[in-house]
Amino acid sequence: MSPTQTRPRQYWLLKTEPQTFSIDDLRRAPKQTTPWDGVRNYQARNILRDAMAVGDGVLIYHSCAKPLAIVGRAEVTSDSYPDPSQFDPQNPYFDGAATAQNPRWFARDITFVEAFKRPVLRDVLAHLPQCADLPLLRRGSRLSVQPVAHAAWGLILALSEG
């Protein structure tokens, strides 16, 4: 946690395909922490780089999964830093246009907080007025790093507790 946090805590949602990286992978990661890297969309990049802050809350959503659901919670635990994968030619996320002086893509560390006892299903979210503004539920939305309003955050946590 930053001792100099200067704004109210904000909330975010991160999409991940569990066959690639799941909430259990995060739980079992060293220090229960992972770099959230490989993001190659400018809008998502901007959120990652500029909008997030240490201490912010993060919901983890499993896409391409059964069931589609928010499955747990994490916390932002680092400032943004250049995503190392953009510099590695062996990495699928390599970007030849990026340089150390002028990185294009950014990452942050996130740390496991809990796996929901009751994952909050997409089908349920879709019926909640408090969640109507979630980009997640917008038709055709592909944003993998997105904001979550306070009301939605509170409701989702309440639902996760049953």
Partner DNA sequence: GCCAACGTTGGC
Judged on CB neighbours under 10 Å (0-12, 13-18, 19+), 142 is: exposed
Rule CB under 7 A: say whether 68 interacts with DNA. yes
Instruction: State the nearest-atom distance from the C-beta of 140 to DNA, in Å.
Output: 2
Rule CB under 7 A: say whether 118 interacts with DNA. no
- Contact stretch for DNA (CB under 7 A) within 5-13, 48-56, 138-146, 154-162: 138-146
Judged on CB neighbours under 10 Å (0-12, 13-18, 19+), 10 is: middle
Q: Which of 19, 140, 161, 162 binds DNA (CB under 7 A)?
A: 140
E strands, the chain, are 11-16, 33-36, 57-62, 69-76, 81-82, 106-121, 145-148
Q: Of 45 and 73, which CB lies nearer to DNA in the complex structure? A: 45
CA gyration radius, the chain: 16
Q: Of 108 and 122, which CB lies nearer to DNA in the complex structure? A: 122
- Looking at residue 24, its amino acid is D
Instruction: State the nearest-atom distance from the C-beta of 1 to DNA, in Å.
Output: 29
Residues that contact DNA, how many (by CB under 7 A): 19
- Looking at residue 56, its amino acid is D
Residue ranges that bind DNA, judged by CB under 7 A: 15, 17, 40-43, 63-65, 68, 122, 136, 138-144
